Amino acid sequence: MRELTRAAWDPANSLLQETQAQITAEAMDTPNGPRLVLTVRTSSATQTVFLAKGNALAAGEKIMSEARKLPGLALADSMMEG
């Protein structure tokens, strides 16, 4: 998986702001093999990515690593076990 740029968003884009979102993830067979299909839906956009197992695991680890940095967030032990 390629490393993302340092900023997780474009700070110069004044249209970007926090909004409600629905995130779904499902393992499925594709013509290129098994993939994790990850979709983020907001009121104005839907983005879907197909991740091979290694990329899905790396993305999950990155998300958990960043989530642990948030103040006041308590993750259950069951969420931390893989």
User: Per residue in 16-40, pLDDT tens?
Assistant: 778 888 999 999 999 999 999 999 9
Predicted confidence (pLDDT) at residue 47 exceeds the cutoff of 80: yes
Residue 56 is given by DSSP the state: H
d(CA 50, CA 28): 9
d(CA 48, CA 3): 18
Q: Which of 35-39, 47-51, 74-78 has the lowest mean pLDDT?
A: 74-78
Element at 50 (helix H, strand E): strand 46-51
pLDDT at position 6 is 66
Question: Which comes out higher in pLDDT, residue 44 or 47?
Answer: 47
Helix (H, G, I), strand (E, B) or coil at 79: helix
Closest Cα to residue 24, out of 3, 40, 44? 40
